[in-house]
Structure 1
């Protein structure tokens, strides 16, 4: 029976913040389970709504498409990140703040391990869902870069646009490395401990370049890296390139 035809007591579930959150999660769980059981192509919005016990109109109050249904909190997390940046202490190193912001993305996955691990299985095998996830990661990275650019310009850092883009990519790469490792291991590792180590590499690299880069005048920095390079090597190469402004080779 759909929400549209349910008794008033049932309909009130979606009228509170917690009720809406539960309803949204119910739709997400239904979508993921159906995609895994019946296949992505064979599952319709009507199937998802019926499995969640709601109607088609209710589904579209929460999601624009069936692809959106498996990423229920990205817009909310983006707003939280922007709020954190707006309220951040300007005395804190900007890359540390960026790491704190992207940790909210990590936390959104850790808050529901079962759903996150199932979603990871789907995004590895279903191209439209993988593309959707890549687009979401790009949105996070652009928010990071915009914040960092503003801070680097205010702090008088050289090459603020380049530095912001590279730092945002490094922060996102560190988060993605930790998240993928946690997902591959079924959500059993201490992701926060791993993230602390990964983010420390990035913060230390960009703290070092800030201290040593006052003489840099070149507006182009090139770093050539193997695609299989470990995270520590990536950060070290980026740090070296930004600090010297010279062409870096493998």
Structure 2
């Protein structure tokens, strides 16, 4: 896309975010977003299919980045280790764009139509992650379970990062996946178990 097109797209994203925060999603039109961005409404629809999509730009790039990061993760890793490696790599763009990401999260949380769109997006991305794991040889059923559990863990880390900006997203990801390992670890034997095994 020419530089002028990329700049218009960036301005449209920013204008949509500002207007949704000022007026609410339902009370903002695409014409108003275009006017705030300094373009006409036809230009808006050259970039985005509808009013919601201005806040979900970059989805194709994220899918491609996830697929590539999973494919390039070192050999010999377990599925959750592969996902942590991939998420840490792809999350750098989100962290670098925090000034846009944080208010975007707030607008989505306050808007049912946007929450619905986000849920659909997350389901699609989990499917992408599952397919990337399958391509690395993880069996289909396990790939699907790992992808959905791993994606939920990633979202948990992003929410923690939003709530606690003092710690990096990378650190929150490491903590979330460490917690996941703790939850899936075998329970330590209890006193009753020890007595039973000793024949007491």
| TM-score range normalised by the length of the shorter chain | 0.7 to 0.9
**Residue matched to 2:194:** none
**Residue matched to 2:142:** 163
**Residue matched to 2:47:** 62
Segments of structure 2 that go 5 or more residues without pairing to the other structure are 187-200
What SS is found at the alignment partner of 2:57? coil
8 Å Cα contact 1:45-1:66 kept in structure 2: yes
46, 67, 81: which one pairs with 1:82? 67
CA distance in 1, matches of 2:113, 2:49: 14
**Residue matched to 1:193:** 171
1:25 CA drift (Å): 2.4
CA distance in 2, matches of 1:23, 1:82: 28
Segments of structure 1 that go 5 or more residues without pairing to the other structure are 1-13, 154-159, 206-231, 238-250
TM-score (norm 2): 0.80
8 Å Cα contact 2:65-2:90 kept in structure 1: no
Number of equivalenced pairs: 186
User: Alpha carbon RMSD of aligned pairs, Å?
Assistant: 2.3
1:198 CA drift (Å): 2.3
What SS is found at the alignment partner of 1:65? coil
1:142 CA drift (Å): 0.7
1:70 CA drift (Å): 0.8
Shift of the 108–148 alpha-carbon distance from structure 1 to 2, 3 Å rule, reads same
Shift of the 127–161 alpha-carbon distance from structure 1 to 2, 3 Å rule, reads same
CA distance in 2, matches of 1:190, 1:84: 20
What SS is found at the alignment partner of 1:176? helix
Could you say which structure has the greater relative contact order, defined with CA pairs below 8 angstroms and 6 or more residues apart? 2
CA distance in 2, matches of 1:89, 1:178: 22
Higher helix proportion: 2
**Residue matched to 1:139:** 124
8 Å Cα contact 2:69-2:89 kept in structure 1: no
